[in-house]
Amino acid sequence: MGRAPCCDKASVKKGPWSPEEDAKLKEFIEKFGTGGNWIALPQKAGLKRCGKSCRLRWLNYLRPNIRHGEFSDEEDRIICSLYANIGSRWSVIAAQLPGRTDNDIKNYWNTKLKKKLMTTVPSLQEKPTFFPSSTFQPPPYDHHAPDHFLTTSSSFFTYTPNFMNVDTTSNSLPVHDINNHINVAADHISSPPPPPSANNLISLMRSDTTIDVNDNCNNYLGFPDDPHTMCNSPMQAYYAASGMKEGMLMFGSTACSSSEGGSSLSHVSHVNYTKDHHQYHYQKNQYQIKQEVDQMTLHDQVLGDQIQTQSLMVNQKRKEFMFTNHVSPLHNDVEEVKLNLNGYLFHDGDGNKTTHYQKGMCSYFY
């Protein structure tokens, strides 16, 4: 038996709203508010509508400061970036675009932006190479997970949407190096980490202010005393060797630019989260990857060399493990971690501007 309907379907009006109905609803809410009860509102306002219908009409059309019409390039970029990272969580995406509704963004994505992207980035039309059996889909939204964002944020690393253009056929890093890395770093991971405390919630925020990377944040992957910072050649060589290209989700800055005087970042959008979340995210991710690597390695041993794709997947997972292994500088002095969601303009010391799309770059503030 299903749940009772929210209203009497037979006695409520459906379909497009008339100007009179709009006026009634608007006037009532501006005068009395919603009263915290949408179900009772239509009767009080003298409307023959379902409460849910009233709510939708108000939120998507009547409430103040709603913006309709053309989306700007900046909005396009934010939507694409967030969609690549968190999937079709339109309400979260809408929260980053003042005046836009989730319905608007959803419609815009489904009817225009997706097609536009398909045209400009032809690789999006292909199946992802990372998981050969899957079709192109954003990370699923797990309603049951205790921490929604971190769950999908974990997919940020373990799932590779086509935006990242990872070339799985390139595997020029010596296999024994990869295995050594896993053995050293992963063997102690035997159980998933406990989630961070509930009062330590993650927040999504956006900043249009300029951050001087030389001032108060370290723009590297890692810390000055971390031998694996992005500016050091081993990781850069690794990325180059593994065939990752511009546009992927990636940690670190380019070619030591931040060490040059006067460098700055602008138009930074970021996820702001605490050390606890960072640690949780990292450990959970490592645990998940290790599980998958173990499972696939076992498959590999059982099946031998008969199934080459399986081996490729294991190697890719190993690469992933290495990748994430460098994403957790759990330094005691760090107060805040900002995970940049969008591309940004990089201003070099000579005043030249170069556009980068290195989503996922971490900045550590301390």
Q: Which of 26, 29, 76, 103 binds DNA (CB under 7 A)?
A: 103
Q: Which of 23, 32, 67, 91 binds DNA (CB under 7 A)?
A: 91
On whether the CB atoms of residues 134 and 161 are closer than 8 A, the answer is no
Residue 65 corresponds to which amino acid?
N
Distance CA 337, CA 270 (A): 9
Part of the chain binding DNA (CB under 7 A), chosen from 6-14, 174-182, 274-282, 337-345: 6-14
Part of the chain binding DNA (CB under 7 A), chosen from 30-38, 234-242, 246-254, 320-328: 30-38
Torsion over CA: 209, 113, 361, 329 (sign): positive
Q: Which residues contact 280 (CB under 8 A, 6 or more apart)?
A: 147, 150, 193, 194, 195, 196
Q: Which residues contact 350 (CB under 8 A, 6 or more apart)?
A: none
**Mask for 119-158, x = binds DNA (CB under 7 A):** ----------------------x-xx--------------
Rg (CA), the chain: 24
**Tokens 């309907």 found at:** 5
**Mask for 300-329, x = binds DNA (CB under 7 A):** ------------------------------
Tell the smallest beta-carbon distance from residue 57 to DNA (Å).
5
Q: Which of 26, 29, 56, 267 binds DNA (CB under 7 A)?
A: 56
**Which one, of 51, 144, 26, 82, lies nearest residue 91 by Cα?**
82
What stretch of H or E contains 136? none
17 binding DNA? (CB under 7 A): yes
Part of the chain binding DNA (CB under 7 A), chosen from 84-92, 172-180, 181-189, 249-257: 84-92
331 binding DNA? (CB under 7 A): no
Using DSSP's 3-state secondary structure scheme, residue 266 falls into: strand
Part of the chain binding DNA (CB under 7 A), chosen from 97-105, 233-241, 278-286, 331-339: 97-105
Q: Where are the alpha helices (DSSP H) in 130-174?
A: 148-158
Tell the smallest beta-carbon distance from residue 62 to DNA (Å).
9
Residue 252 corresponds to which amino acid?
G
Tell the smallest beta-carbon distance from residue 123 to DNA (Å).
21
Residue 257 corresponds to which amino acid?
S
Tell the smallest beta-carbon distance from residue 270 to DNA (Å).
20
Q: Which residues contact 222 (CB under 8 A, 6 or more apart)?
A: 228, 229, 230, 326, 329
DSSP bridge partners of 344:
356
104 binding DNA? (CB under 7 A): yes
263 binding DNA? (CB under 7 A): no
Using DSSP's 3-state secondary structure scheme, residue 167 falls into: coil
**Mask for 208-237, x = binds DNA (CB under 7 A):** ------------------------------
Part of the chain binding DNA (CB under 7 A), chosen from 9-17, 177-185, 197-205, 287-295: 9-17
On whether the CB atoms of residues 54 and 48 are closer than 8 A, the answer is no
Using DSSP's 3-state secondary structure scheme, residue 107 falls into: helix
- Residue 93 vs 231, nearer CB to DNA: 93
Give the footprint of DNA on this chain (CB under 7 A): 2-4, 6, 9, 13-17, 34, 36-40, 49-53, 55-57, 60-61, 68, 88-92, 102-104, 106-108, 110-112, 141, 143-144
